[in-house]
Structure 1
Amino acid sequence: MADSVEQLISVPLQELPQRWRSASRAEEIARARALHDRDPDEYWAWAAGKQRWMRPWDEVRSGDLPEFRYFTGGLLNVADNCVDRWAEDPATADRAAVVWEGEPGDTRTVTYAELARETSALAAGLLELGIGKGDVVAIYLPNLVEAFTAIHACNRIGAIYTVLFSGFGKDAVTARLKVSGAKAVVVADASYRRGKLVPLLETLRTARPGLPDLGHVVVLDRTGRDLPLEAGEVSYADLVARHPEGTPAVPLEANDPAFLIFTSGTESTPKGVVHSVAGFLVGTWANAYWQAGLEQGDVYWVAADVGWLTFPIQAVIGGLACGTTIACYEGALDTPTKERFYEFCERHEVTQVLAAPTVLRMLRSFGEDLCAAHPLPHLKLITVQGEPLDAETFTWAGAHLDVPIVNAYGQTETGSTWTYPVTGVDALKAGSAGRPLPGHDCEIVDDDGLPVPAGTKGNLVITRPFPTLARTVWGDHERYLSAYFNQFPGRYNTKDEAVLDADGHLWVLGRADDVINVAAHRISTMEIEGVVTAHERVAEAAVVGVPDPTKGTVPIAFVTLLAGADADSVSAELIRRVGEELGGYARLAKVYPVTALPKTRTGKTMRRLLRDVLVEGAPRGDTSAMEDPGALDAVLTAVSAAR
């Protein structure tokens, strides 16, 4: 095993200071773990019992991987659980459900009672348009209050919602709407991003001629421009105003499809995975409850795009199911100034933040002085997910923000993050994803499917079902079976490499297909990134493998540096360090210092584009999900200048 992995998993446990501990939560998670140890289904019955059912289930679970069902025979409604039950309770009806801020600085606060009224009215409006149970409705919105109402309006009537990134271009939108067969789209005329308008309605209109199933477009006037509507379009405001009486929440069977989301990747046909009604509700409630440690009076900011599954999990479904107040921000976190993140937390008295690790790296790159100028006394927790968290960023954030940093792991297909240190209870390790939560079991196995010992890298597989695990691929169940269950029958293949340490903590090293073969030596690019990001002048890094006539493949690093760093000396030092710590075979062939790395709005670095630039000279894949096109320009410039 490479020394870097040995060093990684030898990180000592960091016991929580007393001020971060919760005795009541420790007792509760101990009971939950005891339920799991007896029978994981007992734990899921406990979690399901926290929801409001219209008819109780007949059995907790039937079947096993890959064909399984949860809470069969039970009837409930997600909108009823996330909105209605809080709006009906006098103690919570006037509690803020969503505290929203737009990039230009406009704000809106919506109580649970107000959210219930608007959601119900919009649901009635969708019924007026002929949308009903089982129909697909696409949500093509930025982070707005209306993203909450549109999703729960669908939940209310049993329509299946699919969320599209507001940064998607015509081709990406067309492909997803065509595959899903969406009958309606809820879209904003535009959104604000880095001080500019992103023309969503215009993009949808250019896509619409190729979408024969799309019958209705509900247009939200986000910018106040009052654009003229075209055939088949209806005003969101008018549709809501026409139905003040609303419509009742319909009972849905626990395993009915609720949510269709498309995974990212390089496959030509978008792959839409399907999550169930009760499974997604129960699992996301538990996810938000344990990961964020939500309590009365909290303001939980999910600093992610609504198009990233994290937002429905933690905010729209899981967060509201916990009855908490969700903070929601529309724009870029560094616009108009680098203080925006801190200012948002201050203005709305945010208590918990969920973000991608890249947000913490961004704050680190902004410097300690800016952090010191904004002490954030209300903040209690930052939790991250989406990419591996490096130890340097973990340590910096914990020290300078003075809150626990909880690192979680999950996937689009798992429908939740399922392994992390429980907030207020579990000891932390810099970069580790903690231990699996109750109700979840996993193994690390070799390529033959045999378990490997602690400390040994292998394939991360899930060994038993759980409620939020995707049930199928939309319209192609065979694709679901072949994609996730062929290599290791009876186990779900995450396609990630991981290692368990001696304390039972899980370390996710990255995609198994990011393993490169250098002169017959296999090594994960994430291992190399771990050495690169450990350099004190490196803010973040991405390592990719490119073809080499002698070695087969060689690793190349792209890095962003902290202010004042000398690019040439840091590059030379990185090449030396990687060779010394991992061996000469892993030595970096080249280091490209750049001003920014291309990322999606979820904060994931688009390594595929970096590889395209090196091998093809330009990106060959879809770039519509990119957060800042200027980052790709910076990469192209750096590579061109070095040739």
Structure 2
Amino acid sequence: MDSSDTLGALISAPLIPLPDRWRSAERAEELAACRALHDADPDDYWAWVAGQHRWLTPWDTVRSGELGDFRYFSGGRINVADNCVDRWADDPATAQRPAIVWEGEPGDTRTLTYAELADEVDRLAGGLRSLGVSPGDVVAVYMPNLVEAFTAIHACNKIGAIYTVLFSGFGRDAVASRLSAARAKAVVVADGIYRRGKVVELLETLRAARSDAPTVEHVVVVDRTGRDLPLSGDEVSYAQLLADHPEGAATVALDPNEAAFLIFTSGTESRPKGVVHSVGGFLLGTWANVHWQAGPAEGDVYWVAADVGWLTFPIQAVIGGLAHGSTIACYEGALDTPSPSRFYDVCARHGVTQVLCAPTVLRMLRKFGDDLAAAHPLERLALITVQGEPLDGETFTWASETFGVPIVNAYGQTETGSTWTYPVTGVDDLKAGSAGTPVPGHAFAVVDDDGAEVPAGVKGNLVMTRPFPTLARTVWDDHERYLSTYFGRFPGRYATNDEAVVDADGHLWVLGRADDVINVAAHRLSTMEIEAVVGTHPRVVEAAVVGIPDATKGTVPVAFVTVTGDADGVPDEVRTLVGDTIGGLARPDRVIVTAAMPKTRTGKIMRRLMREVLLHGEARSDTSALEDPGSLDTLATAVRA
């Protein structure tokens, strides 16, 4: 069987009809109407989305311009905090609805209603204004999933400041480089946070970074640990700032195309790349994203089991979730601390109805075993939706059977600002591993290296062919980099730099990064295709495949696996399995059994670091997004074995 045959097998998964108990006639009717708007003109659909929001000044033009230089809702003025917080606090019917249900890793909890959230956001906004933070200034938020992450982001939204979230696992150099690149004027930071039973000292790290971040004038410190650490110089207490500013701050009416926030991507480049998203575009697009992907209804509790430093959390929770007036569950720590039952415990304790996570979380739960799942039935759970990495069919099937709920797989990127292709919850049929079909307002193509569209069943480069509101508008301080990175290869189209294929039913399958395609003896092989086969081995729980140089073949694949039970014989069995399924060219040169893989806190496997450990014995590029530095030592030991 050659690679094309394997690809055909991968994408030939049958449609899984949605059972009647999961279907919603009302949502089906609404989606049909929205798809009709899209078919007439996608801008008509986005006008419908705009009508679901509160505008401070009406807009007059839906869209002007094309990819690379476009604007939405010109003439209008809007405020994100007004739509995500104030409009729900202003309504007596929703003011006392829980907005955030928070749990810390040690087990402490806190719940804020929309009225309470609005008051805290307003006070913090007033405090930031008193420190001299003005519209257009940058405020960094350096903390994990705390209530104060929500309030800091929306305080910035209220006064028109630009926020940037720094991953709480960042060390001194990563924090300094991002603060410097953003020209941050202020930082809101937790003194320390809890992770795997230990206190991570964030304030200490920030203090060390400030010598290389000269633009920072003020630091607002959240006393997360209750230690009441002494503050000095330009550091102020978050609690005191709230107490000192009951007057709050005026809501700033903003052009929907102004910058709302910037998020720095990690990668092999030494210079951080700050992707910029807009005020109104991000708000409206994330509202639509949550509407179709999660399908929130009154009484739901939506848990986005991701880190606030991953754009998914602002999309689905801080902005998109609150824009619906939803109740958002928020958890601070590791999902397996202090025991493997923590995921189930959080769901049960807070009555979670929908969970969003990376596929890695489901693979972790699968590794913990069926007995643990059976001992923790989640009676209120109605949906699991995943994004961030390809979802393998085995994990889809296990999760579907174990939890008895739809498993919705979605695809998007930091730059797209939302997921844009997935089966719409309550309406669309499913396929194990596919990313469904585009939701209204989005258009794509799969093209060859010359830009010509390829037919169904043929893999190629995934591009977006029309603007949409959540697409990043620029790279901070470097618009030419934005144009060359995303529009240089295929002019007039946005290059995702991912490979994909469309199946006979029109479902999109994203195969991974184009630079993860390896050439073995002049044959192009997708590492995802090999991973999909490796993952079918009964003892393999998780797999990652990378390509390394080979003097004879050019490149050869190497597979890393984590396993359940005894690993004896697994490497040889995996090599045979791949060879028999795809062919000898795809057979891994090595199969390395490891107890841990390097991942981001959101569960994405960092394959570039694995490749570096293979080639050099150590990681040599950016490790700032790494959740557990010890995983690299574990990996290096496995490589040397």
| Common fold by TM > 0.5 | yes
Q: Which of 318, 329, 350 is matched with 2:331 structurally?
A: 329
Give the letter aligned to residue 586 of structure 2: A
1:97 has 2:85 as partner? no
Q: Secondary structure of 2:568's match?
A: helix
Deviations 1:462-482 (A, max 9, x none): 000000000000000000000
Aligned partner of 2:223 in structure 1 is 221
Q: Secondary structure of 1:109's match?
A: strand
Give the letter aligned to residue 585 of structure 1: L
The structural deviation recorded for 1:356 is 0.3
Give the letter aligned to residue 139 of structure 1: V
Query: How do 1:65-464 residues align onto structure 2 when only pairs under 5 Å count?
Result: 65-464=67-466
Q: Secondary structure of 2:141's match?
A: strand
Give the letter aligned to residue 334 of structure 1: D
Q: Secondary structure of 2:548's match?
A: strand
The structural deviation recorded for 1:622 is 2.4
Q: Secondary structure of 1:613's match?
A: helix
User: 1:147 & 1:254 partners in 2: Cα distance?
Assistant: 23
Instruction: Decide whether the 8 Å contact of 1:598 with 1:628 is kept in 2.
Output: yes
TM-score by length of 1: 0.99
Q: Secondary structure of 1:618's match?
A: coil
User: 1:459 & 1:32 partners in 2: Cα distance?
Assistant: 28
548-557 or 290-299, which deviates more: 548-557
The structural deviation recorded for 1:264 is 2.2
**Which ranges of 4 or more aligned residues in structure 1 deviate by more than 2 Å?**
1-4
User: 2:328 & 2:313 partners in 1: Cα distance?
Assistant: 10
Aligned partner of 2:58 in structure 1 is 56
User: 2:226 & 2:417 partners in 1: Cα distance?
Assistant: 35
Identity among equivalent positions (%) equals 73
The structural deviation recorded for 1:577 is 1.2
Instruction: Decide whether the 8 Å contact of 1:143 with 1:306 is kept in 2.
Output: yes
Q: Secondary structure of 2:124's match?
A: helix
Aligned partner of 2:486 in structure 1 is 484
Give the letter aligned to residue 70 of structure 1: Y
Q: Secondary structure of 1:126's match?
A: helix
Deviations 1:553-601 (A, max 9, x none): 1110110012x2x323221111011112211111100011111111001
1:605 has 2:615 as partner? no
User: 1:545 & 1:254 partners in 2: Cα distance?
Assistant: 43
User: 1:570 & 1:164 partners in 2: Cα distance?
Assistant: 40
User: 2:75 & 2:171 partners in 1: Cα distance?
Assistant: 41
TM-score by length of 2: 0.99
User: 1:612 & 1:263 partners in 2: Cα distance?
Assistant: 19
User: 2:214 & 2:381 partners in 1: Cα distance?
Assistant: 48
User: 2:115 & 2:531 partners in 1: Cα distance?
Assistant: 48
Q: Secondary structure of 2:569's match?
A: helix
Root-mean-square deviation over aligned CA pairs: 0.8
User: 1:61 & 1:534 partners in 2: Cα distance?
Assistant: 46
Give the letter aligned to residue 35 of structure 2: R
Give ranges in structure 1 of 5+ residues lacking alignment.
none
Aligned partner of 1:594 in structure 2 is 594
Give ranges in structure 2 of 5+ residues lacking alignment.
none
Deviations 1:448-499 (A, max 9, x none): 0000000000000000000000000000000000000000000000000000
The structural deviation recorded for 1:639 is 1.1
The structural deviation recorded for 1:375 is 1.1
The structural deviation recorded for 1:80 is 0.3
Query: How do 1:476-515 residues align onto structure 2 when only pairs under 5 Å count?
Result: 476-515=478-517
Give the letter aligned to residue 597 of structure 2: L
User: 2:266 & 2:419 partners in 1: Cα distance?
Assistant: 17
Deviations 1:122-180 (A, max 9, x none): 00000000001000000101100000000000000000000110001111111111111
Aligned partner of 2:577 in structure 1 is 577
User: 2:239 & 2:303 partners in 1: Cα distance?
Assistant: 26
The structural deviation recorded for 1:611 is 0.7
Give the letter aligned to residue 457 of structure 2: G
User: 1:608 & 1:76 partners in 2: Cα distance?
Assistant: 41
Instruction: Decide whether the 8 Å contact of 2:266 with 2:624 is kept in 1.
Output: no
Give the letter aligned to residue 514 of structure 1: D
The structural deviation recorded for 1:219 is 0.5
Deviations 1:377-406 (A, max 9, x none): 000000000000000000000000111000
Instruction: Decide whether the 8 Å contact of 1:184 with 1:216 is kept in 2.
Output: yes
Aligned partner of 1:568 in structure 2 is 568
User: 1:262 & 1:4 partners in 2: Cα distance?
Assistant: 36
Aligned partner of 1:38 in structure 2 is 40
Instruction: Decide whether the 8 Å contact of 1:189 with 1:221 is kept in 2.
Output: yes
Q: Secondary structure of 2:419's match?
A: strand
The structural deviation recorded for 1:624 is 2.7
The structural deviation recorded for 1:319 is 0.0
Q: Which of 526, 533, 536 is matched with 2:535 structurally?
A: 533
Instruction: Decide whether the 8 Å contact of 1:260 with 1:273 is kept in 2.
Output: yes
Q: Secondary structure of 1:179's match?
A: helix
Instruction: Decide whether the 8 Å contact of 2:100 with 2:111 is kept in 1.
Output: yes
1:619 has 2:609 as partner? no
Instruction: Decide whether the 8 Å contact of 1:56 with 1:73 is kept in 2.
Output: yes
Q: Secondary structure of 2:484's match?
A: helix
Instruction: Decide whether the 8 Å contact of 1:273 with 1:470 is kept in 2.
Output: yes
Aligned partner of 2:29 in structure 1 is 27
Deviations 1:11-63 (A, max 9, x none): 00000111111111111111110100010000000001000001111100000
Aligned partner of 2:638 in structure 1 is 638
Instruction: Decide whether the 8 Å contact of 1:3 with 1:581 is kept in 2.
Output: no
User: 2:183 & 2:98 partners in 1: Cα distance?
Assistant: 35
The structural deviation recorded for 1:533 is 0.7
Q: How many residues align?
A: 639
Give the letter aligned to residue 620 of structure 1: R
Give the letter aligned to residue 583 of structure 1: G
The structural deviation recorded for 1:517 is 1.1
Q: Secondary structure of 1:498's match?
A: strand
User: 2:59 & 2:82 partners in 1: Cα distance?
Assistant: 17
User: 2:598 & 2:325 partners in 1: Cα distance?
Assistant: 36
User: 1:317 & 1:425 partners in 2: Cα distance?
Assistant: 24
User: 1:539 & 1:483 partners in 2: Cα distance?
Assistant: 35
